[in-house]
Chain A
Amino acid sequence: MSKRRIPSRIFTVLVYLFLYAPIVLLIVFSFNSAKSNRVWEGFSLKWYLELFQDTRLLGALRTTLILSVLAALIATILGTAAAIGFYSMRRRSRSVCLSVNNIPLTNADIITGVSMMLLFVFAIGAFNGSPLSQLLGVRWKMGFGTLLLAHITFDAPYVILSVMPKLRQLDPNIYEAAQDLGASGFYAFRRVILPEIMPGVLNGLIIAFTMSIDDFVISYFTKGSGVTTLAVEIYTMVKKPVTPEINALSTLMFICVFLLLLIVNVRQARQETASSRRKAALTPSDGQS
């Protein structure tokens, strides 16, 4: 049996090699003293130093972090409320809402990007031409605001998709039980429902945050000319032939992503053992055996 597995193991290793060779290359050459991804000339940390002195890139990083945190938080609140609302709906209207919710997920990013750009250009043009704009002395333009709106729009579907299953698992009687015991509607929600769906809400928040950080295409079309995000800044840097700072940046990002994924996985494993333990405690026969 084990001998027959050797070809499949070789295949698996080759695929992982294919997936990781480019990343290893970036990490190794981030410590290269020469300005080259081809020839190794000696160990150096100078690209990291340059990275930390690149004010444009650091500014873009700051914008991206603020944007991603804000967008993920708002999308989580909006999406969790919407998930409860959808859950309460009749089947017909719920399935309509969920299909609209799926549009940003299935549509190509570039379509979402250009369509929102059209909306923003249209709305801003209409507003700036209106008497209201003259009255207030305000002129709108694309920038952080439009970026935030776009990011919330493509983040929220992920939150809803991760909260909905938790709501379906919920025992429909516990909310009424809490109310029978004298809890007000909001109190019962806060103390009974929210803790139950919290893992889904948190997962949604994390997915939304990473989607925002990672997004290039939609940001590219909705950012306007004043602001820039990390991914867009990377795009302008990558277009130049050799930019060793990118290697250093990739290494740092890889480490961040790795740690984040590790935390999420450990959290999930803990949740699973906790829930299986609780199940074992609740079913006496299992508990005894």
Chain B
Amino acid sequence: MRNRALAIPYVVWMALFVIAPLILIVIYAFTAKDGGVTLSNFSNMGQYFPAFRHSFVLAVIATLICILIGYPLAYFLSKESVMVRKVAMMLIMLPMWMNFLLRTYAWMSLLDDNGLINQFLGSIGLFDLINGIFGTNLTCFHMINTQGAIILGMVYNFLPFMIMPIFSVIDKIDPKVIEAAQDLGANNTMVFRKVIFPLSLPGVLSGVTMVFIPSVSTFALSRLLGGGKTLLLGDLIEMQFLGNAYNPHLGSAIALVMMVIVLVCMAIMNRFGEGEEGVAVL
């Protein structure tokens, strides 16, 4: 059944549609419109520093929030019975299979100044209370078209990607290991700190990758939830390829820089993760 030739069509396919496009990105990034080799695409990038900063700051915050929500949830779920665990995981995956634009659209109307959240807060008298205490004239919390709304969109759309890998790693921890720790006199906190947490780190790392990469490169989210006020890297790249600012050379350069920064971040994190694992083994 060993037949290496069967891989040939796909290897050719990958060369054409995976490798060649990436090479084209590099070529475009280092050339000008007239075809000459240039570095001006990179030297002009300084003016887009705010977009880089916003993208990375928002993505880091969203990833941290996802860890803070996702890790405890995965941990709590792993203690439930088999049946509950299965249904719970299915319910985590279910929203993920609905198009993220539809999910984002739902938040657009929830966060609105006249949206259901503000209606609810108004109906329980929160605004009257605040106005009474501080003498303000508040009628709603302004939530849509802010950076907070973008972060919320990222967390909402990508949270399942954090929960699932953490859960599957914790779920696979051999209960004997935990029993052994308990037999050796560890209390619950120590079992978590010395056994479960170190063993679950690979799951956290892959969760971070799966949340951070789509967050940092997102486009559309900032337009839909941020009102287009915060220009993110994804929007910047899109503008260079399909928007008014048509300039695929600059777009390729920005995409390349983003890709390199993300790769470097991931490499550093994986190194850090390996180090932690090494400690756990010792």
Write the residues of chain A forming the contact surface with B, with a CB cutoff of 8 angstroms.
5, 8-9, 11-12, 15-16, 18-23, 25-26, 29, 37-38, 78-79, 81-82, 84-89, 97, 100-101, 103-104, 106-112, 114-119, 121-122, 149-150, 152-153, 156, 160, 172, 175, 188-189, 193, 210, 214, 216-217, 220-221, 230-231, 234-235, 238-239, 242, 246, 249-250, 253-254, 257-258, 260-261, 265
Contact = CB atoms under 8 A, between A and B. Distances in A.
B98 A100 contact: no
A216 B223 CA distance: 15
A19 B9 contact: no
Contact of A110 (B11, B21, B217): B217
- The majority secondary structure among interface residues of chain B is helix
Nearest to B113: A38
A239 B102 contact: no
Nearest to B17: A153
Interface in B15-35: 17-22, 24-25, 28
A108 B213 contact: yes
Given A89-B4, A116-B17, 6 more contacts: A15-B159, A22-B110, A37-B112, A89-B7, A109-B217, A119-B17
Closest 10 CB pairs of A and B: A85-B7, A82-B10, A22-B106, A115-B21, A108-B217, A37-B109, A85-B6, A88-B2, A175-B1, A8-B76
Contact of B262 (A88, A108, A230, A260): A108
Nearest to B240: A114
Contacts of B219: 110, 217
Contacts of A29: 109
Contact of A25 (B6, B110, B209): B110
A12 B77 contact: yes
B102 A253 contact: yes
Contacts of B41: none
Nearest to A179: B1
A interface SS class: helix
Contact of A108 (B1, B88, B214): B214
B222 to A, nearest CB: 13
B141 interface: no
B105 A38 contact: no
A104 B241 CA distance: 19
Contacts of A25: 106, 109-110, 116
Nearest to A117: B241
B21 A238 contact: no
B147 interface: no
B203 interface: no
B102 A114 contact: no
